[in-house]
Amino acid sequence: MTTQPRYDALAALIATREWWFGASEVQGILSALVACNQGGRWAEILFAQGEIDTIAHEAFDRLSRQIEETLAADALSYQLLLPEDGTLAARAEALAAWAQGFTVAIHWLQPELEDDARAFLADLEEIGKLDYDLDDNEENRRQLTSLEEHCRMGALLIYTENHKPQEKPA
């Protein structure tokens, strides 16, 4: 199984290369593409101007494979890529960026979604507007953890919806 990159390592690569997206945002984008069975199309949305290079290709192919493996796993191993040691505000900002990335990719793909998935997407649009100027207290940590879990489960929902086993003809 491919291991998830560390947030800090991916964020540093993105900053060095001066790409337009952040680490959590790109994982949100790739997660939506994979969830909609379009994981191979990441270059179209991330590098529409054609500036893709070997480093980008390797990094995002690897991240897409890791996302696919964890979304497909029975163990619910998919995790959001958020700062490990950041402040509550940094985690909230990264969660909002993840939600924005996932939403952008879904709108770009325009898949047909069932009611639960459409409701999740509406929730994501609100999470993308999250006020991340939060006091670091137990209640805010609990609420943020709840939102993170909602995002994780929503990504799994959309993945499952788009990867249903084909029925065999009788």
H runs (alpha helix) in the chain: 7-17, 23-35, 42-46, 54-72, 88-109, 115-127, 138-162
pLDDT digits (tens, 9 = 90+) for 96-120: 999 999 999 999 999 999 999 999 9
Q: Is 120 exposed, middle or buried (0-12, 13-18, 19+ CB in 10 A)?
A: buried
pTM: 0.93
Write down the CATH superfamily of domain 7-162.
Answer: YgfB uncharacterised protein family PF03695 (1.20.120.740)
Instruction: Count CB neighbours of 157 within 10 A.
Output: 17
Q: What is the pLDDT of residue 165?
A: 77
Confidence tier at 144 by pLDDT (50, 70, 90): very high
Q: Which residue did the predictor score with more confidence, 64 or 131?
A: 64
What is the residue-averaged pLDDT of the chain?
92
CB under 8 A, 24+ apart: contacts of 129-133: 129/96, 130/92, 130/93, 130/95, 130/96, 130/99, 131/92, 132/89, 132/90, 132/92, 132/93, 132/96, 133/89
Q: Is 26 exposed, middle or buried (0-12, 13-18, 19+ CB in 10 A)?
A: buried
pLDDT digits (tens, 9 = 90+) for 42-77: 999 999 877 788 999 999 999 999 999 999 998 889
